[in-house]
Structure formats: structure tokens, C-alpha cells
Amino acid sequence: MSERRGHDLGLHRVIEPQGALPQAAERLDAESPAFENEIVIDVQTLNIDSASFHQIMGELGRDEAKVGERVREIVAARGKMQNPVTGSGGMLLGTVKAIGKHYQGPVELKVGQRVATLVSLTLTPLKIDAIEKVHLDADQIDIRGTAYLWPSSPVVAMPEDLPERVALSALDVCGAPAQTARLVEGKERVLILGAGKSGMLCAATARATLGEAGKVYAVDLYDENLKVLQDAGIVDDFRTANAKVPTEVLEAVEAMTGGEPVDVVINTCNVSGTEMSAILPVKDRGVVYFFNMATDFSRAALGSEGVGKDVDLLIGNGYAHGHAELTLKMVREFAVVRRQLEGLAGA
Amino acid sequence: MSERRGHDLGLHRVIEPQGALPQAAERLDAESPAFENEIVIDVQTLNIDSASFHQIMGELGRDEAKVGERVREIVAARGKMQNPVTGSGGMLLGTVKAIGKHYQGPVELKVGQRVATLVSLTLTPLKIDAIEKVHLDADQIDIRGTAYLWPSSPVVAMPEDLPERVALSALDVCGAPAQTARLVEGKERVLILGAGKSGMLCAATARATLGEAGKVYAVDLYDENLKVLQDAGIVDDFRTANAKVPTEVLEAVEAMTGGEPVDVVINTCNVSGTEMSAILPVKDRGVVYFFNMATDFSRAALGSEGVGKDVDLLIGNGYAHGHAELTLKMVREFAVVRRQLEGLAGA
């Protein structure tokens, strides 16, 4: 009996190699019925990671049937959707079918509720019964299938008051606003580096957290989003600069602050080589938060040492308590952010 | 006149590309005399980064003359010792020759003092007058030459009461103990993952900071250093486990703590694939400090998200105020650590 409870980290679903965590596993067991610490999801849509989807299309061409068949094969072989070439997964949308009696997850859920997983498909046990429709331009596949989530896997109930594409687009980066809220609390000057989707959400969060008590500055290569953010009172000032050129960013920031360093830098640039642009403008004992998957660990560590900067360098953890709820709140409260996200999502 | 003051980040020494920081620069100016914000160092020894030194030996063989000539060529071409293949540098030992009137560096220095740079050779303007002796087994080259340091470049006066090799060996990792002291302050349970040079220094620092008020645990693949640390009262308990197998480490830690998570994990393993071993044992809202150059940014960020862990993930910045002094203090105060370092340094 107690064996049917399952392990909090999902080890009960790992087939091989033994001792691996589900994400690192070669193969998961998606055949066993639900364990008592799991929820069961009727899966309707797989949002395949863009890199993975394009790798498959690159190999098979823009052929809906072939792409669908490849995804079916991968999931049948591995018990999860983890592209063996790119190593990446994606997330899924579905409906809660059952809730195990020992499931204690991060949010309250009800049977019948529409949910999205905020944990990667690379560690989600998944069984596909049928491929319904492949959306080649949206990196999405509608399926009939079943997935299982244990308590440590973040999940969110889809909001009913927001277009699904906009909500998903915001939820995709929901770790960043939550960390921003914590890091800027009580601070004077905040720099948002990069004003794309996550940059805009972080700027809004910084404004909501600081009120009028602190200054929110932004830098991006282009000024479209920056102007919109300033007009809406979300950022106090902005400059355009190339985040790959640290001295250019430093000058831009000093021009805005009157030469003062900032307390916190949130790096949301989605390009490589921007570590020093985030490190130079921050004050002694300040904080740099890297919500940028192109960040190079050594470049940040050695670069900061190279300029003798005693600052905290934080890796952008994708999970924080209440991250999904806070992010959706920002989308609701800042109409301009919602509008920009709708534009980006093509909604 | 004011031009001779130089820039705080050394931009006055960058020849190309324009706007680059010294570390990213292709070529530095090591010919101009000292600027007013610089110190001049009579260089005696270059400690070449091990990866760089071995790349050169791999290409040219174990030939002292050829290896020396290659280093001379690189420095002549680039104005700094940055191996174009590995991208890495090293550090240098020398004597303070002059101190510019506008130099305000991280520590008090006197002319004639023996110093080591704690900033990489990849951003240190260097001119070589002669190669004196190449030490193929020590990755060292004795030279006659001149280097310049501006205020943001960390430097340390060599201690007179410690063997030079032991001091250098400890200084090589001095960012880690300084951060450890800050992070464990007031905490109950600390895990040191990896008990090599930096792990031992961090364990000693944790003990010095916590006194008997907190528990210091350690995990390493081998038990030699672990036993020594426990006998000396530096760690309260230890286990051997493979840091590449997260579940093995988690079990080892839970066996020591009675199933409780720890407040802080210091990851000093110098191998890849140890991110999750550091993340799993830490408590909710705890801190993981990665002083491990083999850390993969995405694996840490996505891995933490994958197990729904709301923890702070810190990149091991190589610089912190007073880092060299604190580290040497640990070597002096913990005889057992000094003895182990002497063994490692072959002193």
C-alpha cells in the first residue's frame, strides 16, 4: 500500500537509469496507474519547446503527419516528451481528471479544472493515445493522452478572464516577476536590462513593489516597448543601448541616474554576452539577477572578479512560491503590459 | 593631464576592439608608462592557468625554450597573457615598483612589497623583457617584466608567515570562504559539498562563523579530507557519496541530519553535473552557493524549477571585500587545513 504513495520527487516513475531524477532519466513509467501522491491530467495540447520543434521540422520537413508521428514515437519510447537531440521538452495544457489522496501540490486544484504545467515535459510522465492535430506554426500539438504530476511539479489553474495565449505567454516566464518583487523591495534604483516579455513584466512588478518611492530604469536595443512603459509610468526613464557592449550600457545608466550605480539589475536579455552589462551598473554589495538562459556561469563569475565587484550574482530559478499568480496579477493590473503581450502572442 | 589619470576599469589600456573591457579586448597597451591611477609591478613569476599551459605543451611538447617563446609571443602580440586557444590567463607574482598618486585600490600597498594579483592575467597589461626560466611541472614561468594594475583589479600583499606555495594555493580560491562567512551567519545547518581545497577552507570558515551554535556537514567522494576535518572538530559529521548522483547525496545528508534539510549548501565540487546534488538537500527559501566553474547555468535554473524548489542560487563571484585576508586567516587558525593544503601544494 505505502508503495502506491509514490516519492515526492517522482522517483517512483523512473525506469532507467536507477537513482536518476525524472528529468535526467532516460525512460519514465507512464503506464502505471496514478500513485496516491499524484494528480492525473487529461492532456489536450502539448506546447513543444521551440528548439525541439524546429529540430524535428528541420529533419522531417513541414509535414504534420510526420512531425506528429515522431513526437508519438519519442513519448512511447521515453514515457515523456524529451527530444533526444535538443534535450528539451515544453509544457502541456489539459484538465484535472483525478487528485490522489496524498497529493499536496503547490496550489489548490479541483477535478475538471483547466490547468497548465509549469514544469518541463522533460520530467512529466506522459502517455499519448492519439495525435489530433499538429500546429506547425505554433509549435503545438493537440493530442488525447494522460500525464501525471507529483507534488514537487509546479502547475497552475488557467485563468478564466485572460485569453489563453496571453496567459500562457506570461506564465512561460513567471519566475522572473516573483524574484523581482523580492529583490527590489525597499530599494531605491532598479535597472531592467532588456524590455521584451519578461523585461516588461519585471518592470511592472518593480513599479508595483516600489510605488513612487523608487526609480525604475530600463535599457533595450530598441525603444518601442521602452516608450510604452514610460508613457504608462512603469519606468521612470529609459535608454537604448546594445547589451553586448558593457561600456555603452554603463554610460546609458549613468546618464539616467546622474552617475549613480543602481541597487538591483534584472537581466532579461535573451542573448549571450550580456553578463558584464548587468554587472557594471550595480553598486557595491548590490544584486544582479540573471533571468537569461544565455548567461554563461564562468563569464559572470570571472567577469565580476575581473572588475573587483563585490555583488551577489543570482541564477534565475524558474520557480518561486506564488510565481504564476503574481505574474497574472501584473498582466491584469497593467493594461499596457497586457496589450504588448497580446501583440507578441499574436492574440 | 587628466587623461593620464586613466579609467577606473582600465579602458585607457584597451587598444582593440574599441569599447571592450580589458578582459574581452583583443589587445591591450602595455607600452605606455604608468597612468596616475595605476600601480607598477616588477614581475618575477607568471602562474599560467593550467588549461592554457597544457594546451601550449600539447602543441609544442615539453620544451622549456619553445614554451617560453610562445608565451613571449602571445604577450608581445596581445599586451597580456591570454592564451588565444583556451581564452584563459593565470596570475602573477612580483614586487610593487611604483604607486600612482590617484591609485585607490582594494588594499594598502607599499613600494617594495611582494604581491600577487588576484585578477586574471587576461586583463592585466603585461610587458615581458626576458624569459628567465620555465617550470614545466609547475605551470610557472620566471620572467623579467612589468605589469600595471588599476583600482578595480584585486591584488594581495604576500604574507610573510606562510610558505608562498601554500598562500598562493589558498588565495586561488579566496572568493569562496568570504561568501561562506556571509551566507552561514546565524544559520543552523550547513552542507559543504566537496572537500578539496576550497571545500576545506569553506568548512573551516563555516565553523569559525557558527562556533558550536550550528552544524557543519560535509560530503565528498573520498573520505581522507573528511576524516581529518571531523577529527579537528571542523565538521560535525560527514558521508561519502557521488555528487553526480543527487539521490545518493540527498540520502547521505538526510542520514546526517535526521531527515531535515539544510539552510545553506556550498558546492565546491570541481566536476560537472552536481547542480541537483546541491539543490535537493536545501530547505525551502534556503541558499545554494555554486563555487564550481563546472556549474551549468541552465541545469541549475531548470533543475530547481523541475523539483519546485524556491531557493536562491548564487554564482560564485571570485571577488568579495577582504576575501584574501579572511582566507589566509583560516589557513593560520586551522592547523589541519594548513597541513592539508601543504600536502596538496607539495610544500
Q: What pLDDT, in 10s, does the model give residues A5-32? A: 899 899 999 999 988 999 999 999 999 9
Residues counted in chain A: 347
Please indicate if any CB of chain B lies within 8 Å of the CB of A51.
no
- Same domain, yes or no, for A147 and A183? no
Answer whether residue B75 is part of any domain.
Answer: yes
Distance from CA of A321 to the nearest CA of B (A): 6
Residue A64 CA to residue A131 CA, distance in Å, equals 10
Question: B291, B319, B118: which is closest to A310 by C-alpha?
Answer: B319
Number of DSSP helices (H) and strands (E) in chain A, helices first: 11, 14
Side-chain-side CA neighbours of residue B62 (13 Å): 5
Please indicate if any CB of chain A lies within 8 Å of the CB of B17.
no
The pLDDT value recorded for residue A306 is 92
The pLDDT value recorded for residue B275 is 97
- Same domain, yes or no, for A17 and A150? yes
Residue B199 CA to residue B191 CA, distance in Å, equals 10
B142-178 pLDDT tens trace? 999 999 999 999 999 999 999 988 999 899 899 999 9
Distance from CA of B65 to the nearest CA of A (A): 31
Using pLDDT thresholds of 50, 70 and 90, give the confidence band for residue B343.
confident
The pLDDT value recorded for residue B3 is 63
For residue B234, give its domain range.
175-345
Of B19, B152, B308, the CB nearest to A154: B308
- Domain C-terminal end among B128, B158, B188: B158
Per-residue pLDDT at A54 exceeds 60: yes
- Same domain, yes or no, for B291 and B145? no
Do residue A306 and residue B21 have CB atoms under 8 angstroms apart? Answer: yes
Answer whether residue B168 is part of any domain.
Answer: no
Answer whether residue A74 is part of any domain.
Answer: yes
Please indicate if any CB of chain B lies within 8 Å of the CB of A140.
no
CATH code where residue B258 lies:
3.40.50.720
- Same domain, yes or no, for A140 and A198? no
Neighbours of B151 (CB within 10 A): 20
ipTM, two decimals: 0.92
The pLDDT value recorded for residue B347 is 53
Do residue A308 and residue B122 have CB atoms under 8 angstroms apart? Answer: no
Its pTM stands at 0.92
- Same domain, yes or no, for A183 and A116? no
The pLDDT value recorded for residue A2 is 46
A155-178 pLDDT tens trace? 999 999 999 889 988 998 999 999
Q: Residue A174, Cα to own-chain centre: how many angstroms?
A: 5
CA distances in angstroms from B143 to A93, B36, B90, B148, listed in the order given: 65, 25, 14, 15
Per-residue pLDDT at B119 exceeds 80: yes
Answer whether residue A166 is part of any domain.
Answer: no
Q: Cell 558593457 belongs to which residue?
A: A246
SS3 A268: coil
Distance from CA of B251 to the nearest CA of A (A): 11
Please indicate if any CB of chain B lies within 8 Å of the CB of A23.
yes
DSSP string covering A89-106: -EEEEEEEEEE-TT---S
Per-residue pLDDT at B2 exceeds 50: no
Domain count, chain A: 2
Contact B244, B273 (CB under 8 A): yes
Do residue B152 and residue A307 have CB atoms under 8 angstroms apart? Answer: yes
SS3 A114: strand
Answer whether residue B262 is part of any domain.
Answer: yes
- Same domain, yes or no, for B31 and B153? yes
The pLDDT value recorded for residue A1 is 36
Answer whether residue A241 is part of any domain.
Answer: yes
Please indicate if any CB of chain A lies within 8 Å of the CB of B259.
no
B13-61 pLDDT tens trace? 999 998 899 999 999 999 999 999 999 999 999 999 888 999 999 999 9
Across all residues in chain A, what is the average pLDDT? Answer: 94
Answer whether residue B169 is part of any domain.
Answer: no
Do residue A120 and residue B315 have CB atoms under 8 angstroms apart? Answer: no
Ranges assigned E (strand) in B9-164: 14-16, 27-28, 39-48, 90-99, 114-117, 126-135, 140-149, 155-157
Answer whether residue B2 is part of any domain.
Answer: no
Name the helix (H) or strand (E) containing B277: helix B275-279
- Same domain, yes or no, for A208 and A110? no
Among chain A residues, CA nearest to B121: A306
- Same domain, yes or no, for A301 and A239? yes
- Domain C-terminal end among B101, B124, B158: B158
- Domain C-terminal end among A95, A123, A158: A158
- Same domain, yes or no, for B146 and B226? no
- Same domain, yes or no, for B293 and B252? yes
Using pLDDT thresholds of 50, 70 and 90, give the confidence band for residue A106.
confident
Please indicate if any CB of chain B lies within 8 Å of the CB of A16.
no
Contact B241, B252 (CB under 8 A): yes
- Same domain, yes or no, for A180 and A79? no
Amino acid at A73: E
Do residue A248 and residue B295 have CB atoms under 8 angstroms apart? Answer: no
Residues of B in contact with A318 (CB under 8 A): 301-302, 304-305
- Same domain, yes or no, for A80 and A200? no
Take residue A100 and report the three cell numbers written for it: 490522489
Amino acid at A321: H
Take residue B52 and report the three cell numbers written for it: 592554457
